[in-house]
Amino acid sequence: MALGIPVVDERRVDAHVQIVGVGVETVTHVSSTDFPGHYPGEDHSWNIDKFKKNLQIIVHHSEPLDCSFSLIGVDASIANAFRRILIAEIPTLAIEYVFVWNNTSIVQDEVLAQRLGLVPLKGSKTGLTWLKWYKKPTEEEPIVPPPNDYNTIVLKLEVECKKNPDADKDETDPTKLYNNAHVYSSALTFHPAGQQKEMFPAPFGLIAPVNPNILLAKLRPGQAINLEMHCIKGIGADHAKFSPVATASYRLLPTITITSPITGEDATKFARCFPRGVIGLETVTAEEAARGEGIKGDKKAVVRDVMKDTVSRECLRHLEFAGKVKLGRVRDHFIFSIESTGQFDSDELFVDSVKLLKVKCEILRKSLASMAR
């Protein structure tokens, strides 16, 4: 992995193969052409050495809840496989069963249970990995292991609203007039069983909400909530609450090629057609002026950072830029963005998606070998 801003490698990019053209109303060269038999006399069969040479991962930033990186040299199907695995196939912990012993709030039991299920949880990563994936009963497998310390986490919520005896007589704020007027996710308590005490040690390894300030319900004096929650590991394909990411997406790296010098006031106008930082202004040098690329000392538009471009095609609307610029996207350069919900770090999730894809490939390989026999 390398840290920095990606630059399009001209030696690697073949215009008719790697660049997706972006026109005023059309998009060209959408389909990949690097496969055997497309070009007469050219061998484009997949080669592991060529793949290793072209494969690159460039990290742009990496934070626990958010990371961005470029995945270069893979097909769109591979990049999309990672995205789908990130969203739907990495097991995570979430509240699945809610046993309501008492609920006199205005929030119905089923609505409250739904809210609780969507609260992201965190805890010791060692313990979360240690927990077994509790597969839900199906028609094919109606019998599942009973809840135990290996597959189930127990949380409880016990709260009652009462008047605050120390509140001022003229106070109107309900959070000051009453105790527990607002029930937040911080009120959820973890009750470990068996080996969970060692796998989720206090104080930082305990199971708790990622954000303690998620509002669950509002209470008034005399109202109370008393319930027990069972958390299990599941996957996003079963329910969105098990998805480890808030979003996982990618986009192709934009390309901007200035084919003819854009100078003077046109350069300033050209820069305004793009997001700030994409196009910069430089001074035309004597050598450039001698080559007929403008007037010495005048402003000239140059490409600064294509990463910030959104490919809006605004510059293609203006006649003064006709034939002077080409827009496109690099077909095998994917800029990934992963936002974790907090149970696992964003960069760890991508590594897990790679491991899962490897497992899927191994299963397919064994299936094909079995069919061949």
Which domains are assigned to the chain? 1-11+30-90+245-255+330-373 (3.30.1360.10), 92-243 (2.170.120.12)
Considering only residues 36 and 346, tell me which one the structure prediction assigns the higher pLDDT. Answer: 346
Instruction: Please count the residues of the chain.
Output: 373
Token look-up 């080996």 returns 195
Kindly state the average pLDDT of the residues 190-211.
93
Kindly state the average pLDDT of the residues 289-295.
82
Task: Say what the pLDDT of residue 146 is.
Answer: 83
Task: Say what the pLDDT of residue 373 is.
Answer: 80
Contact 300, 261 (CB under 8 A): yes
Q: Any idea what DSSP says for residue 263?
A: B
Considering only residues 298 and 145, tell me which one the structure prediction assigns the higher pLDDT. Answer: 298
Helix ranges (H only) for 37-99 are: 48-54, 76-88
Q: Rounded mean pLDDT of the chain? A: 89
75 exposure class (CB count in 10 Å sphere: 0-12, 13-18, 19+) = middle
Beta-strand runs (E) in the chain: 2-3, 19-22, 27-28, 56-62, 66-72, 92-103, 121-122, 153-160, 162-163, 178-179, 182-184, 189-190, 208-209, 215-218, 224-234, 245-258, 279-283, 299-303, 325-340
Task: Say what the pLDDT of residue 135 is.
Answer: 67
| 27-31, 101-105, 212-216, 351-355: least confident range | 27-31
pLDDT at 13 over 60: no
318 exposure class (CB count in 10 Å sphere: 0-12, 13-18, 19+) = middle
The pTM (predicted TM-score) of the whole model is 0.84
| 41-55, 72-86, 197-211: least confident range | 41-55
What are residue 209's phi and psi, to 5 degrees? -65, 145
Compute and round to an integer the Cα radius of gyration of the chain: 28
pLDDT at 14 over 60: no
Token look-up 């994409």 returns 278
Kindly state the average pLDDT of the residues 194-215.
94
Kindly state the average pLDDT of the residues 82-101.
95
| 44-53, 147-156, 239-248: least confident range | 44-53
- Following DSSP, what letter does each residue of 152-180 receive, concatenated? -EEEEEEEE-EE-TTS-TT---HHHHEET
Task: Say what the pLDDT of residue 136 is.
Answer: 66
The rounded distance, in Å, linking the Cα atoms of 328 and 26 is 11
pLDDT at 10 over 70: no
pLDDT at 336 over 90: yes
Task: Say what the pLDDT of residue 37 is.
Answer: 78
Cα 159 to chain centroid, rounded: 35
The number of C-alpha atoms within 13 Å of 219 and in the hemisphere containing its C-beta is 24
Task: Say what the pLDDT of residue 290 is.
Answer: 84
Task: Say what the pLDDT of residue 15 is.
Answer: 39
Kindly state the average pLDDT of the residues 16-21.
73
